[in-house]
Amino acid sequence: MMNINILFIVIWSLLNISSVILSKSCSRENSRIVRDYFRKALSSIYEKHDLSIPVECIFSSKRDIYYHQELNKIKITDNRWLCQYCNKLFYSEYYIDIHMSNRHNDTLIHDEQSVCLSDYCSIFRCDVLKGPKKSFQSINIFTRNSDVTKRKSKKIINEQQLTILRSRCASIINECVPHNIKHDIRVKIQRKCSSLHYKYFSH
Ligand SMILES: [Zn+2]
């Protein structure tokens, strides 16, 4: 009996340690940028046609490791954030994020399918999306020389890199197209990456 208890404690500790490592290695801020990009670019199509995101898609809420935690962070004002797990208040998102890491790591989605969205930052151009607050329509993630990418810290990409990014973006978005949907809606979703690129040339 004693041995079983010790084994249980060891397994529990290992699970806890792995959750801490997971949350430390996956940037919450960058995950949020990638998540928001998908939400702003595509969620209206899903809502309009009452579609659900397939689990194969990296943006499925079943796979995003921070999904539950983000859902339980309530922004009351710019400097008032509520943790719905324990009703504590925080001055900023930065501090509530630290609190989530320290107190609620048991709520992370952590299985073989879970995804750290910040791992996709290079494809969805977090460096561009992170720029100064702009309206979403004015941001083109595939722009090579917008006012945002001209900044020193932003990586300016060439035509070849642009093609690679578009192709990676397309294969990710392709997995997010629900099965058995009308052809025109399927095309609308699939073309999201290239239409963003088209916007660049149309400016
Ligand atoms: Zn809390």
Q: How many CB atoms lie within 10 A of CB 24?
A: 10
pLDDT confidence band for 48 (50 / 70 / 90): confident
In degrees and rounded to multiples of 5, residue 141 shows phi and psi of -65, -15
Distance CA 100, CA 197 (A): 37
Distance CA 33, CA 114 (A): 17
pLDDT confidence band for 86 (50 / 70 / 90): very high
133 vs 152, which has greater pLDDT? Answer: 133
Judged against a pLDDT cut of 90, whether residue 103 lies above it is answered with: yes
> Of the ranges 3-7, 65-69, 193-197, which is most confident?
65-69
7 vs 158, which has greater pLDDT? Answer: 158
Burial class (CB in 10 A: 0-12, 13-18, 19+), 48: exposed
The Å distance, Cα 77 to ligand 1 centre, comes to 17
The Å distance, Cα 67 to ligand 1 centre, comes to 15
Distance CA 195, CA 109 (A): 32
The Å distance, Cα 40 to ligand 1 centre, comes to 27
Query: CA nearest 58: which of 116, 134, 145, 137?
Result: 116
pLDDT for 155: 62
